[in-house]
């Protein structure tokens, strides 16, 4: 699996947090800068193959932690292997408190609805780009940093 640093930032949270006191969908995504914005939790779906279609689809819930405002930004992304890139389905903001339980509940509901399994990755202990690169390599992710 390949994930760019920008994609990681985009993917870190979504629809699942609607069960918690999340403020409605919010525009845009912050970049993980390891100063204010840090990776938090990620839930990555298995690749789904649709009968009659050559490609596959994969969903990611990505949470990014804003340490200044003490909130998480959640994005749900959808990657279609027949297209180059991904689509941001939903972006929301909510409190850090209980964000893991809210994300797990959301992912569980989405998983049942779409009949797809997710793997959770806890990145809350990652504080630097170097630590992130090491974790990404250990997980088998490829990463690309985006030009500034």
Please give the backbone phi and psi of residue 99, each rounded to the nearest 5 degrees, phi first.
Answer: -65, -35
What pTM does this model have?
0.74
- Is residue 145, in this structure, part of any structural domain at all? no
- Is residue 148, in this structure, part of any structural domain at all? no
- Is residue 24, in this structure, part of any structural domain at all? yes
- Is residue 144, in this structure, part of any structural domain at all? no
* Alpha-helix residue ranges (DSSP H) falling in 1-40: 5-11
The residue segments making up the domain with residue 107 are 5-139
Structural domain count, the chain: 1
Interval 51-77: pLDDT, tens: 777 788 889 999 999 999 999 999 998
| SS3 state at 107 | helix
Q: How many CA atoms lie within 13 A of 58 on its CB side?
A: 21
Interval 1-42: pLDDT, tens: 444 444 443 333 333 333 333 344 455 666 888 999 999 999
């Amino acid at each position: 699996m390949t994930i760019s640093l920008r994609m990681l930032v985009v993917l870190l949270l979504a629809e699942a947090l609607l069960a918690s006191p999340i403020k409605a969908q919010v525009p845009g995504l912050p970049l993980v800068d390891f100063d204010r914005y840090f990776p938090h939790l990620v839930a990555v779906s298995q690749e789904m193959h649709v009968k009659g279609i050559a490609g596959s689809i994969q969903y990611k819930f990505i949470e990014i932690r804003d340490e200044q405002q003490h909130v998480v930004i959640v994005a749900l992304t959808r990657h279609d292997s027949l297209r180059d890139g991904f689509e941001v389905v939903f972006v929301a903001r909510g409190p850090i408190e209980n964000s893991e339980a809210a994300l797990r509940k959301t992912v569980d509901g989405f998983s049942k609805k779409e009949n797809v399994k997710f793997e959770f990755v806890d990145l809350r202990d990652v504080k630097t780009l170097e630590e992130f690169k090491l974790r990404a390599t250990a997980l088998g992710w490829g990463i690309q940093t985006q030009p500034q």
